[in-house]
Structure 1
Amino acid sequence: MTFYDRAEELNALNTAFESPGHDFYVVYGRRRVGKTELLKEFCADRPHIYFLAAQEAEDRQREKFVEKVADHFDDRVPRIDGWDQALDYLGEKLATERVVVAVDEFPYLVEENGSLPSYLQSFVDEQLQETESMLVLCGSSVSTMESEVLGHESPLHGRRTGQIDVQPFSFRQSRAVIDYDLANTIRSFAVTGGTPMYLTLFDYDHPLAKNIRAQILSPTAVLYNEPEFLLRTELRNPARYMSILEAVATGHTTPNEISGVTGIDSGPLSKYLQTLRRLRLIDREVPVTASAKQSKRSRYHVADEFLRFWFRFVEPNRSSIQEAPEVVYDGTIEPNLPDYVATTFEDVCREAVWEAIRRGHLESYSEVGRWWYGEDEIDIVGLAPDTDRILFAECKWTSEPVGPGLVSQLREKAERVRWGPDTREEEFALFSKRGFVDGVADDVDENWSLYGLSELSGLL
């Protein structure tokens, strides 16, 4: 697989390793985001021991780990009876050579022996600190990594010298992989999201429709059952979580709506939602002008574009896909794709707003998000509390150019946003897939910015 981007993450690891003294790094993030590829890229040109843990008995895991250490140092494999002895052996060897020790899928080891973090604490404190080597613990189970390695109650708390929370690619980063024009790149990103594995499964010499049919709608394809596999690796009983994700993906975004569709009472539902948030499968959102802790106007959305696509189009139609995938694509996916992509377009435009702020094309804002109240909704609102400045923006993924009506509508809705003093400074922006009708640019003043796809492409 071609290695893409991750320059910032690689730079952090390289800088740490090249600096004097020991290092203990924690690398974690959702499955499929490229953590293993990042570690392999980092280790490629320097002495390293890479150990990939597996779901097998503790004794066998420990034996394999010791074999890896012995093999690197061209040593006879010693007889080891526990993790404390295994780590003592590693410490003796690291005293003779500067090495990167990368332990991938660390949560599998903790599953078999919950005392391992305590053994590692002693290893870091008593042996690793006396070397120039680097220990990297990596894991896909975000909850385990956060509790057993990073958490306040973990024996390893405070020992790390750095951490990397590996995120899916942004839209801008994904453009290095998706080889389509901008409009089709946005459509494709709406299907795969920024997860590197999903991005690289598509063949961009073929149209998006063919990729969807081949890589998602085929019962033999990897992505056909991917979300179910992900849930089963994290949860013992994924059925209710599946129903919640499907509800959210199909437009039921408030707790009351989710409860009504799934039949799950509000009490248990709250716990399920918290679990899904902890696993980074859904996000909670409140109006950007509201307090995240106090607001009761929360909405939920599926945090990954591919999962949103799968629960919107695949999960409800699996029986039909088994029988006639072409019919499902032609009759269900293709006609509904524009409305589906419109939500992704808003996220892409929000990313563009931040880039425009960084470049000075727009004024500076500290918060950017959606706003809604009653029947009113604005796609993007930016807040600059220190200067009483506010940004209003709308994003239109439509087949026709935007006319002056949207300008008037946005001005009217902006008046109903209660934030800041009456003298606040207001800035406006419009994003349009099909551009703007003649005359729109002449009807607005210097406080307005208009972005068609060409302008958007320049930003991203």
Structure 2
Amino acid sequence: MFIGRERELKSLNEVYSKAGFGMTIIYGRRRVGKSYLITEFIKDKKAIFYTATKVGSERNLEFFSKQVLDVLNPEYSDATFPSIESVLDILTKKLSESDEKIILVIDELPYWAEKDEALLSILQKYIDTKWLDKNLMLILCGSALSFMEKKVLSEKSPVFGRRDAQIKLEAFNYRDSALFVPDYSSEDKAICYGVTGGVAKYLSLFDPKKSLDDNIKRLFFNTNGYLFDETKNLLTQEFADVTLVNNVIEQVASGENALNIIASKVKEKDPTVLYSLEKLIDVGLVEKKKCITEEKNKKKTQYVLKDHMFKFWYEFIPKAISVIEMGQGELYYEKVVKPKLHEFMGSVFEEMCRYYTLEQGIQGAFGSFLTETGTWWGVEQLQDAEDKWYQQATDIDVVGISTIDKTAVIGECKFKNEKIDKGIYETLVGRARLISGKYNITKYLLFSLSGFTDWFNDIDKTNLVLITVDDMYK
């Protein structure tokens, strides 16, 4: 069953519908559903779908040739060709003989193009000299984000300026992820999103007829589970030195977010660790997070895991390997993991709340047109019981800002089995002064799994918005 991706399918169909040549670039991290999206798009159309592999340029040419001929001229599918031009000439001839639209897909393009530097230039030559008036749609797709951005999309690329559309396919947001488990409670939908990170492949493994607990136990805490070895499998595909990368991820997953601290923990030099972090950013596993009101302040940057599934895996699986291999993974989940799920969901829930805030804020739900959301962290000045001042590190979970009228909303998020009380609200109001010098705070948002105490029934809520997890799924 194909779920979501309506905007992406619409974009692909718009390019397909135009007269003459059209090209779309699709890129995104592994397992996010790029190939599945393309397969859904071409299912009722004439298409040549080739997936490149790490076998060198000559073998890719051989396999590509067979794929082209299987579609255009099956009786000659075993023929060999000296160059990609000779194969593309056959395609061009076929396009000239018929008005039928043909789609040419080269998936995992970097595997081929990295070993054949002329490939993109050859495609550019055919686009410019032979295909512009032909009924052809070209789709170039890849998982190596840095390659796709620097070699395919940048101004230095031979195919620059020739695309009609580009799609950076991201993981599903929390709301679309819920479509995979429609009968789950809002709490379980949120946790399902948390342990999969909204990655299409991982979501597709969840059996919506089974409980959340049963799915997590089957996929993570079983030696035969797909996600038991997934982090190692994915890192092996992307990195030569898996040991160093694994050590770096362990530190980031445990909450270390400064380069110098990570480097000291893994006992490597800063430049070595920085290289690994940049590669992890390239493949979509790590992100460099900035304080929303001080984005130019290089000291206020943090490396955090972008992939929630990786965070879940590194938090719970390494300590349980022996237990899982003895066949007691389900017991470990019940005794150790399940009681800590709400704690794990803390940062995931904050990200969900930021998405909700931006989504609603764009529509004017909070009284101003919000243009971005993020988080704030820094130091606040407080007074103790003896009126002495002291400094304390603090953060604001949700900050939504409008760069248009310099207004902002701020929020606090609690994914706990206890109701939010007045203390949390008063703390949030107190922290407003930390950013009120730059933005006028118009709303205070409180997000809660378990609702709110009766104290909120009797106060003025003109500038306060109370939001439950159920509200976020409406």
Query: Shorter-chain-normalised TM-score: which range?
Result: over 0.9
Moved more, 131-140 or 437-446: 437-446
Consecutive aligned runs of 4 or more in structure 1 exceeding 6 Å deviation = none
Write the deviation string for residues 16-50 of structure 1: whole angstroms up to 9, x where unpaired: 11112211211111111111111111111122112
Q: For residue 192 of structure 1, what is the aligned residue in structure 2?
A: 196
SS for the counterpart of 1:12 is helix
Please give the alpha-carbon distance, in whole angstroms, between the structure 2 residues aligned to 1:156 and 1:282: 29
**Alpha-carbon contact 1:213-1:325 (below 8 Å) kept:** yes
One-letter amino acid matched to 2:372:
E
Q: For residue 390 of structure 1, what is the aligned residue in structure 2?
A: 408
One-letter amino acid matched to 2:95:
L
Among candidates 346, 363, 372, match of residue 367 of structure 1? 372
Q: For residue 345 of structure 1, what is the aligned residue in structure 2?
A: 349
Q: 1:296, CA displacement in angstroms?
A: 0.6
Please give the alpha-carbon distance, in whole angstroms, between the structure 2 residues aligned to 1:95 and 1:256: 60
Pairing 1:244–2:248 present = yes
Q: For residue 15 of structure 2, what is the aligned residue in structure 1?
A: 16
Q: 1:124, CA displacement in angstroms?
A: 1.3
Write the deviation string for residues 37-92 of structure 1: whole angstroms up to 9, x where unpaired: 11111111122112222333533432332233233233652552111222222222
**Count of residues in Structure 1 that have an aligned counterpart in Structure 2:** 454
One-letter amino acid matched to 1:128:
W
Q: 1:279, CA displacement in angstroms?
A: 1.6
Write the deviation string for residues 246-295 of structure 1: whole angstroms up to 9, x where unpaired: 1111222222432333223323222222221122110111211102x433
One-letter amino acid matched to 2:210:
H
Q: For residue 29 of structure 1, what is the aligned residue in structure 2?
A: 28
Write the deviation string for residues 101-153 of structure 1: whole angstroms up to 9, x where unpaired: 11222222224423211211212111121312111111222223223322333
SS for the counterpart of 2:249 is helix
Please give the alpha-carbon distance, in whole angstroms, between the structure 1 residues aligned to 2:229 and 2:126: 41
Among candidates 111, 121, 137, match of residue 124 of structure 2? 121
Judged with a 3 Å threshold, the aligned counterparts in structure 2 of structure 1 residues 359 and 162 are, in CA distance, closer, same or farther, namely closer
Moved more, 344-353 or 76-85: 76-85
Q: For residue 58 of structure 2, what is the aligned residue in structure 1?
A: 59
Give structure 1 stretches of 5+ with no counterpart.
none
Please give the alpha-carbon distance, in whole angstroms, between the structure 1 residues aligned to 2:441 and 2:220: 47
One-letter amino acid matched to 2:4:
D
Please give the alpha-carbon distance, in whole angstroms, between the structure 1 residues aligned to 2:442 and 2:3: 39
Q: For residue 258 of structure 1, what is the aligned residue in structure 2?
A: 262
Among candidates 394, 397, 410, match of residue 379 of structure 1? 397
Give the alignment of 1:118-157 within 5 angstroms. 118-157=121-160
One-letter amino acid matched to 1:287:
C
Q: For residue 90 of structure 2, what is the aligned residue in structure 1?
A: 89
Please give the alpha-carbon distance, in whole angstroms, between the structure 1 residues aligned to 2:96 and 2:446: 60
SS for the counterpart of 2:85 is helix
**Alpha-carbon contact 1:289-1:419 (below 8 Å) kept:** no
Please give the alpha-carbon distance, in whole angstroms, between the structure 2 residues aligned to 1:314 and 1:400: 28
Give the alignment of 1:235-314 within 5 angstroms. 235-291=239-295, 293-314=296-317
Q: 1:242, CA displacement in angstroms?
A: 0.9
Judged with a 3 Å threshold, the aligned counterparts in structure 2 of structure 1 residues 95 and 389 are, in CA distance, closer, same or farther, namely same
SS for the counterpart of 2:4 is coil
SS for the counterpart of 2:353 is helix
Among candidates 110, 113, 116, match of residue 113 of structure 2? 110
Q: 1:204, CA displacement in angstroms?
A: 2.6
Please give the alpha-carbon distance, in whole angstroms, between the structure 2 residues aligned to 1:270 and 1:418: 34
Please give the alpha-carbon distance, in whole angstroms, between the structure 2 residues aligned to 1:51 and 1:58: 14
**Alpha-carbon contact 2:358-2:372 (below 8 Å) kept:** no
Please give the alpha-carbon distance, in whole angstroms, between the structure 2 residues aligned to 1:338 and 1:106: 40
Q: For residue 418 of structure 2, what is the aligned residue in structure 1?
A: 400
Q: For residue 68 of structure 1, what is the aligned residue in structure 2?
A: 67
Q: For residue 429 of structure 1, what is the aligned residue in structure 2?
A: 445
Judged with a 3 Å threshold, the aligned counterparts in structure 2 of structure 1 residues 399 and 442 are, in CA distance, closer, same or farther, namely same
Please give the alpha-carbon distance, in whole angstroms, between the structure 1 residues aligned to 2:457 and 2:130: 67
**Alpha-carbon contact 1:95-1:130 (below 8 Å) kept:** no
Please give the alpha-carbon distance, in whole angstroms, between the structure 1 residues aligned to 2:270 and 2:210: 45
Among candidates 395, 408, 420, match of residue 438 of structure 2? 420
Please give the alpha-carbon distance, in whole angstroms, between the structure 2 residues aligned to 1:60 and 1:318: 39
Please give the alpha-carbon distance, in whole angstroms, between the structure 1 residues aligned to 2:142 and 2:290: 30
One-letter amino acid matched to 1:449:
V
**Alpha-carbon contact 1:385-1:420 (below 8 Å) kept:** no
Moved more, 394-403 or 69-78: 69-78
Please give the alpha-carbon distance, in whole angstroms, between the structure 2 residues aligned to 1:326 and 1:317: 11
Please give the alpha-carbon distance, in whole angstroms, between the structure 2 residues aligned to 1:417 and 1:441: 28
One-letter amino acid matched to 1:184:
D
Among candidates 177, 184, 190, match of residue 174 of structure 1? 177
Q: For residue 231 of structure 1, what is the aligned residue in structure 2?
A: 235
Judged with a 3 Å threshold, the aligned counterparts in structure 2 of structure 1 residues 407 and 123 are, in CA distance, closer, same or farther, namely same
Judged with a 3 Å threshold, the aligned counterparts in structure 2 of structure 1 residues 152 and 238 are, in CA distance, closer, same or farther, namely farther
Pairing 1:455–2:471 present = yes
Please give the alpha-carbon distance, in whole angstroms, between the structure 2 residues aligned to 1:57 and 1:112: 6
**Alpha-carbon contact 1:393-1:428 (below 8 Å) kept:** yes
Q: For residue 201 of structure 1, what is the aligned residue in structure 2?
A: 205
Q: Give TM-score scaled by structure 1 length.
A: 0.93
SS for the counterpart of 1:222 is coil
**Alpha-carbon contact 1:394-1:429 (below 8 Å) kept:** yes
Judged with a 3 Å threshold, the aligned counterparts in structure 2 of structure 1 residues 315 and 118 are, in CA distance, closer, same or farther, namely farther
Please give the alpha-carbon distance, in whole angstroms, between the structure 1 residues aligned to 2:116 and 2:405: 54
Q: 1:332, CA displacement in angstroms?
A: 3.1
Q: For residue 390 of structure 2, what is the aligned residue in structure 1?
A: none
Q: Give TM-score scaled by structure 2 length.
A: 0.91
Q: 1:425, CA displacement in angstroms?
A: 4.4
